[in-house]
Structure 1
Amino acid sequence: MDNNTILHSYQDWLKVQKMPAGKKKTLSAAVELFSRQGYNGTSTAQIAEKASISQATIFKYFKTKEELLSEIIEPLIPELKKEFLPKLKTYSKIEDVIHFIVQNRFRFLAQNADIIKIILQEILVNSGLRQSLMAAIQDTIIDDLKMQLSRLQNDNPNIVTYQEDCEVIRTGLGLLFAYFFQRFVLEISTQSEEKDLKCIEEQLIKLITTKV
């Protein structure tokens, strides 16, 4: 499956998974309701009604609603780096690297908007989920990004060396998530997405090539 569309086509992904029909119906209904109403605003009774199953069927496969949420989010983690990092390694010029990261990762966020919205809502209030998700992201992609940043610093002497490489990575992710939040959570329209993303690219290039 294309790494950029795993959750955009979540229903298609579920269809090919080897799991009982009741479990598939539960996951499908939960994704739709969590993204629209929020995790806390959705009851298992509503999920059961949406899926046309009983609550007993839900609890047959998921001991708690939190376990259900975890199973929805779980497929996202390996998709964060599949194909992205190998392609990233093919770029050496800093402008090309930043352009690829901003365009590729925003497309990933946009195409997986329903699940990303669920995650953003929950990490603000669910410390357990936040810690486990951050640990998974650290293991999955942050360390690799730090290695790529070091490679770029060797190839591009104009790149500033920060005491903490994570500072640059956090800033870049922060800019992308802020723009995603504006577009898909607050639903603020834009006259030109292309110009908006170009502005983010310029901010990142300035950040890593200008000593503060």
Structure 2
Amino acid sequence: MAEVRSEYEKALMEATMPAGKRKVLLAALQLFAKQGFDRTTTAEIAKEAGVSEGLIYKYFKSKDSLLEELSKSFYDQFRNTFLEGVGEYATLDELVTAFMRDRLNFARENFALIRIIGQEVFMNPSFRTAIANVVVNNGHINKYIAEIKAKYPDANPDLNPELLLRGVLGPLFSYALITNLFHLKSDDEDGSLTNLHRQLMLVFKGK
């Protein structure tokens, strides 16, 4: 697998944190993507980062907590750009079209980390709980929903964070995961995207 090269990696490079911690996070990201979370040891992370194994435990209690920090900061980046510029579009349909293409690109660019998070959510109960606690913090999502309802009169009046996350993230990431994981290239990609757009509009409009 090719090395992870994503907007998230760039964000880590620019984040304010000790240099050693940044090296550990970037090394862990690369190794988890190449060989999986379970098959990666903290000794390998330390070697890849060019630091001592003890430095890893200075910043992280365990390999699990290292992945939790990667996942939480990744979700923060996703959430903060989730529906940026909701008022820039003339219609709700235009907003959903732009949003769909932007989030699919985001998922493709960050596919390696999304796959790791998805695997651990299914396999690791404590990790699943930690990520769930992050996702249910819906302050940013409520802000976006309020902007959508204020801007677009045909927006779903029952739109709420749970509906938005369940009804939007499920179809989007399922589409990105299936096409990337199995390297599927649809002969009718426009048709597939039309169907995905229709699913998302049911959430945003409620009909």
Q: Could you state the TM-score of these two structures normalised by the residue count of structure 1?
A: 0.75
- The number of aligned residues is 202
Unaligned runs of 5+ in 1: 1-6
Q: What's the CA shift for 1:141?
A: 4.1
Aligned to 1:79: 77
In the alignment, which residue of structure 2 is the partner of 1:179?
175
How far apart are residue 87 of structure 1 and its match?
Answer: 0.6
Larger RCO, structures 1/2 (Cα 8 Å, 6+ apart): 1
Secondary structure of the structure 2 residue equivalent to 1:102: helix
**Deviation at 1:175?**
0.8
Change (3 A) 1:150 1:108: same
Match of 1:35 in 2: 33
**Amino acid across the alignment from 1:177:** F
Whole-Å separation in 1 of the counterparts to 2:156 and 2:7: 40
Matched, 1:166 2:165: no
Structure 2 equivalent of residue 58 of structure 1? 56
Q: Which moved more, 1:20-29 or 1:189-198?
A: 189-198
Q: Is 1:197 aligned to 2:193, yes or no?
A: yes
Counterpart CA distance in 1 for 2:117 and 2:143 is 22
Structure 2: state its 5+ residue gaps: none
Identity of aligned residues (%): 28
Local SS of the residue matching 2:120: helix
Answer yes or no: is 1:133 the counterpart of 2:148: no
Task: Label 1:166 to 1:149 Cα distance change in 2 as closer, same or farther (>3 A).
Answer: farther
Shift of 1:121: 1.4
Assess, with a 3 A threshold, how the Cα gap between structure 1 residues 56 and 113 changes in structure 2: closer, same or farther: same
Q: 1:206 to 1:140 in 2, by over 3 A?
A: closer
Deviation at 1:15, TM superposition (A): 4.0
Give the distance between the partners of 1:168 and 1:100, measured in 2 at CA: 16
Does structure 1 residue 22 correspond to structure 2 residue 9?
Answer: no
Change (3 A) 1:202 1:15: closer
Distance (whole Å) between structure 1 residues aligned to residue 86 and residue 74 of structure 2: 19
Alpha carbons of 1:160 and 1:80: their partners in 2 closer, same or farther (altered >3 Å)? closer
1:126-170 per-position Cα deviation (integer Å, ceiling 9, x unaligned): 333333323323325443354356447x712xx666597734641
Aligned-residue Cα RMSD (Å) equals 3.2
2:153 & 2:160 partners in 1: Cα distance? 19
Q: How far apart are the structure 2 equivalents of 1:75 and 1:127?
A: 20
Match of 1:89 among 81, 87, 92: 87
| Distance in 2 of aligned mates of 1:62 and 1:209 | 43
| One-letter identity of the residue aligned with 1:196 | S
Question: Where does structure 1 differ by over 6 angstroms across 4 or more consecutive aligned residues?
Answer: none
Alpha carbons of structure 1 residues 131 and 193: separation in structure 2 relative to 1, 3 Å = farther
Secondary structure of 2:80's partner? coil
Change beyond 3 A, Cα 1:80–1:15: closer
Deviation for aligned residue 1:64: 0.9
Match for residue 146 of structure 2?
Answer: 147
* Matched-pair contact (CA < 8 Å) for 1:77–1:140: no
- Do the aligned partners of residues 95 and 114 (structure 1) sit closer, same or farther apart at CA in structure 2, a change above 3 Å counting? same
